[in-house]
Amino acid sequence: MEAIKNAFDFSDLPKTELSLAAAVLVFLLGFPALPHSSFGMSTMIQFLAFSLYGMGWNLIGGYGGQVDLGKAQYVGIGAYTTAVMMIRWNVPFWFSMPLGMAFAVGWSFIIGYPLFRLKGHYFAIATIATSLVLKDLFEVWDFVGGARGLELPIKGDFPNWLYLQFREDYYYYYILLAMFLVGLIYVNGFRHSRLGYQLRAIKDNEHVARSLGIDVHWSKIKAYAMATAFVAAVGSFHACYNYNIEPEDVMSLDLSVLIAMMAMLGGAGSIWGPIIGAAILVPMKNYLGSWLGGQAGFAGMDLALYGLIIMVIAAAQPRGVYGIVEAVRARRR
């Protein structure tokens, strides 16, 4: 019971942040009713998806300080579980999604156990490696379509809630928005939980954490598993939304890096960080990408540009955009 109360307890956050969050929530709820292009709608859906990826990443990368650059492997596990089960056995999304989360969590225990013997950069590099190995395996595994990937069958009967197939994007939007809100409340509960406190102690100093009775290795594995569940759930959603998945798309290093980058840009270790990061980077990636990509000789410049922005932020304020907000607030006090 207390866990539920903690999850809905936002009272420790400043009032200005809460009013801003409420305004954003009203906007998100009303967005489909506002005039928008289909490109705008798909950008919003991507924003929600990356916010959720980032919230997951934040549990281990932000609160725990363990920089994870292999989250794409869990996007892949979620997406492939849903796709394979729908294609082969007609399993609905609502059943395959939790199963995908369970597979991803199981896999996270298997690789988390040895990986968390490593620290710092070594851990980061190892997460990249495991993710790439899994991607390579999927590319040669015929059962899951190999490198060509999988095409989801169109079930018809729109709106099809069972298989998450809709003609209009706003169905997807609201389903993802609901997942976004559940995710946000979960992270808020995590922040207030014993594990949440212990992870922040681990991030500070592992020796001190151990002297306070914290089993550092096991705590990291648990948080990593929770982070994984988030990412896999959105992966399942992505398979239905996209109708088409392939290893290069859902398990690439680019995706892993993008997930970590958004959370870090927004502010790792803060509840709003991943959302701020996704709100900045997703539109930038989409609009700048399509605009610059259209100019002759400028293709790829958008990547260089947002690389530069991230470097500037990392140098000026390692705690990201939210860190800047906090620094300003501290100065005013």
From 88, 117, 194, 329, residue interacting with other proteins (rule: CB under 8 A): 194
**Contact letters (x/-) for other proteins, 133-172, by CB under 8 A?**
----------------------------------------
Q: Contacts with other proteins: how many residues (CB under 8 A)?
A: 24
Q: Is 215 in the site for other proteins (CB under 8 A)?
A: yes
Query: Which three-class secondary structure string do you get for the chain?
Result: CHHHHHHCCCCCCCHHHHHHHHHHHHHHHHHHHCCCCHHHHHHHHHHHHHHHHHHHHHHHHHCCCCCCCCCHHHHHHHHHHHHHHHHHHCCCHHHHHHHHHHHHHHHHHHHHHHHCCCCHHHHHHHHHHHHHHHHHHHHCCHHHCHHHCEECCCCCCCCECCCCECCCHHHHHHHHHHHHHHHHHHHHHHHHCHHHHHHHHHHHCHHHHHHCCCCHHHHHHHHHHHHHHHHHHHHHHHHHHHCEECHHHHCCHHHHHHHHHHHHHHCCCCCCHHHHHHHHHHHHHHHHHHHHHHCCCCCCHHHHHHHHHHHHHHHHCCCHHHHHHHHHHHHHC
From 153, 204, 290, 311, residue interacting with other proteins (rule: CB under 8 A): 204
From 15, 121, 167, 207, residue interacting with other proteins (rule: CB under 8 A): 207
Q: Is 193 in the site for other proteins (CB under 8 A)?
A: yes
Name the segment binding other proteins (CB under 8 A); options: 47-55, 166-174, 177-185, 190-198. Answer: 190-198
**Contact letters (x/-) for other proteins, 60-89, by CB under 8 A?**
------------------------------
Q: Is 317 in the site for other proteins (CB under 8 A)?
A: no
Other beta carbons within 10 angstroms of residue 56's beta carbon come to: 30
**Contact letters (x/-) for other proteins, 3-42, by CB under 8 A?**
---x------------------------------------
Q: Is 212 in the site for other proteins (CB under 8 A)?
A: yes
Q: Is 327 in the site for other proteins (CB under 8 A)?
A: no
From 13, 99, 210, 305, residue interacting with other proteins (rule: CB under 8 A): 210
Instruction: Please report, as residue ranges, which positions from 265 to 284 form the binding site for other proteins (by CB under 8 A).
Output: 269
Name the segment binding other proteins (CB under 8 A); options: 21-29, 34-42, 117-125, 208-216. Answer: 208-216
Residues lying near other proteins in the complex (CB under 8 A): 2, 6, 192-194, 197-198, 200-201, 203-205, 207-216, 269, 319
